[in-house]
């Protein structure tokens, strides 16, 4: 499985707009999350987690989700993808967010 986060990724995001590249990801406003996942068998579903808590499941490409809860501080997004054969893989991204 080929996988990475398209959003958010090492930029400053302000209300969904990617502004400038940074060493760490900073989000001001809602977090727009999009994972780029490819598999030779086909992706069945993608689960999105924040700090280990399941928040959303997406069964269709583009695999995306919008996190719009009040949050301040450092968090970790995890996407767990399952393919049609039952295999799974995870990707994680740490980021700072201010959304009040």
Q: Where are the domains of the chain?
A: 2-99
Would the pTM of this model clear 0.85, i.e. be above it?
Answer: yes
From first to last of the 100 residues of the chain, give the pLDDT tens digit: 667 788 889 999 999 999 999 999 999 999 999 998 888 888 999 999 999 999 999 999 899 999 999 999 999 999 999 999 989 999 999 999 999 9
At the topology level, CATH places domain 2-99 in Immunoglobulin-like (2.60.40)
DSSP states of 43-77: EEEEEEEETTEEEEEE-SSSEEEEE-S-EEEEEEE
* Pair of tokens at residue 25: 């990801």
């Amino acid at each position: 499985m080929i996988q990475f986060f398209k959003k958010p990724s090492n930029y400053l995001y302000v209300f969904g707009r990617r502004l400038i590249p940074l060493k760490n990801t900073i989000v001001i406003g809602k977090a727009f999350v999009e994972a780029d996942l490819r598999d030779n068998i086909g992706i069945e579903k993608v689960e999105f987690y924040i700090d280990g808590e399941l928040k959303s499941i997406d069964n269709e490409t583009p695999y995306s989700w919008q996190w719009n809860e009040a949050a301040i501080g450092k968090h970790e997004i995890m996407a767990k993808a399952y393919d049609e054969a039952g295999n799974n893989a995870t990707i994680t991204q740490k980021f700072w967010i201010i959304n009040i």
